């Protein structure tokens, strides 16, 4: 694979490790001047919104509320009401976590440093820093802050092993020779901060790791697809055989591990194989999302086809009749049922926030009337 402008970043390397095909597609952004038109992962777009808001707070001196609106102006099409509340919280936290006794060295700035020579040309390592400060009381002592907006908390051990923070540590020392020591802060806006440092030996290790990864990428002339967690949001999904192949393999494996009961047709799980079943769950969940995204994309194309072309594929469109009750009809239903009517209809927070603006004083009053009840048991992976 060729590297546009002979440069590469840690996100490019990690994307190649996830899926070489997608990495090749992602490289377009360096030659086309913008991000490729790929389907966006919700958390990825939310993170972009947060970083845009932070950048506007620094460049335009906006407060947290103004920065939230600036982020919505750019990314509002991807943000739900729950995302808005997260965004407002994260930007407010950012404003509170100010650093004193420092001078700004970099704010949302990109850098690149020479990484290795290959066939007579220099390949550069490219990196972007959220914040880089130098302590006023200790010249030569730098502080790097990387702001994170994920819903999931990362442990101190995960931060120490994080290839992005590690490679940025190498890049900072290479670009700023006056940097004698460096503290790195992994600032999780929803949770707290984790701190990490690296030694000269660790910087040598990550440099060699980056060099080996780059050589492997340059030698990859096949860029074969690889099933990974990003498959459901990849723009290449409709043409990519890997999610379908993985789903078919998973289905065949489940059929072998848990054959359906001949009478009921339901899966017969073997208690002794539960550990095997659970190990398959993450891959199955991702494969299911990928197949559903593929189905949605194909159905959308079919719906938008000319009628004759759609008929060629054996499909037609039709209108479903839906029964709906207008506000006037609901009022009439209440007159028929009396107060029993309220057991039939329900108000949800999402409906309320979607209908009533946050500045409306009635909204706070209505929210205060809600009772907090336990939902049915949900399932999530415990962080290791």
Question: What is the per-residue burial (b if ≥16 Cβ within 10 Å, else e) of 208-236?
Answer: eebbebbeebbeeeebebbbbebbbbbbb
Q: Which of 159, 162, 239, 272 is nearest to 206 (CA)?
A: 162
Each residue's pLDDT tens digit, 80-115? 888 898 899 999 988 888 788 999 999 889 999 999
Beta-carbon contacts of 322 under 8 Å, excluding residues fewer than 6 positions away, are none
CA distance linking residue 187 with residue 196, whole number of Å: 11
Average pLDDT over residues 185-204: 93
Q: Is 182 helix (H, G, I), strand (E, B) or coil?
A: strand
pLDDT of residue 227: 81
pLDDT of residue 257: 63
pTM of the model as a whole: 0.65
Backbone angles phi, psi at 200, to 5 degrees: -60, -40
pLDDT of residue 2: 83
Q: Is 111 helix (H, G, I), strand (E, B) or coil?
A: strand
CA distance linking residue 210 with residue 207, whole number of Å: 5
pLDDT of residue 356: 85
CA distance linking residue 285 with residue 306, whole number of Å: 34
pLDDT band for position 37 (50/70/90)?
very low
What is the 3-state composition of the chain as percent helix, strand, coil, each rounded to the nearest 5?
Answer: 55, 15, 30
pLDDT of residue 72: 93
Each residue's pLDDT tens digit, 269-302? 677 777 777 776 777 777 777 777 777 777 888 8
């Amino acid at each position: 694979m060729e590297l546009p402008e002979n440069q590469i970043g840690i996100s490019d390397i990690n994307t190649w490790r996830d899926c070489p095909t997608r990495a090749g597609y992602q490289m377009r952004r360096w030659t086309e001047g913008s991000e490729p038109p790929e389907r966006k992962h919700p958390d990825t777009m939310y993170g972009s919104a947060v970083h845009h808001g932070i950048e506007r707070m620094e460049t335009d001196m906006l407060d947290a509320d103004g920065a939230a609106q600036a982020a919505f102006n750019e990314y509002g099409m991807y943000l739900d009401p729950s995302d808005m509340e997260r965004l407002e919280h994260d930007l407010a936290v950012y404003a509170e976590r100010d650093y004193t006794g420092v001078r700004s060295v970099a704010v949302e700035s990109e850098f690149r440093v020479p990484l290795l020579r290959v066939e007579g040309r220099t390949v550069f390592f490219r990196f972007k820093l959220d914040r880089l400060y130098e302590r006023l009381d200790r010249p030569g002592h730098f502080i790097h802050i990387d702001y994170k907006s994920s819903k999931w908390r990362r442990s101190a051990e995960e931060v120490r092993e994080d290839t992005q923070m590690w490679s940025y540590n190498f890049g900072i020392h290479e670009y700023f020779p006056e940097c004698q020591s460096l503290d790195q802060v992994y600032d999780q806006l929803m949770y707290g901060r984790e701190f990490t440092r690296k030694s000269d030996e660790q910087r040598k290790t990550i440099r060699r790791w980056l060099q080996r990864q780059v050589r492997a990428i340059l030698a990859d002339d096949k860029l074969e697809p690889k099933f990974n967690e990003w498959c459901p949001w990849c723009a290449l999904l409709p043409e990519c055989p890997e999610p379908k192949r993985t789903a078919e393999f998973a289905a065949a494996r489940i059929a072998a591990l848990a054959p359906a009961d001949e009478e009921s047709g339901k899966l017969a799980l073997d208690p002794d194989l539960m550990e095997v079943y659970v190990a398959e769950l993450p891959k199955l969940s991702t494969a299911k999302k990928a197949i559903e995204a593929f189905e949605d994309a194909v159905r959308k194309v079919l719906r938008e086809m000319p009628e004759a072309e759609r008929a060629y594929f054996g499909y037609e469109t039709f209108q479903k009749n839906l029964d709906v009750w207008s506000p006037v009809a609901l009022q009439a239903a209440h007159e028929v049922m009396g107060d029993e009517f309220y057991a039939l209809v329900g108000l949800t927070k999402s409906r309320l926030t979607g209908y009533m603006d946050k500045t409306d004083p009635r909204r706070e009053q209505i929210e205060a009337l809600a009772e907090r009840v336990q939902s049915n048991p949900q399932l999530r992976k415990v962080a290791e």
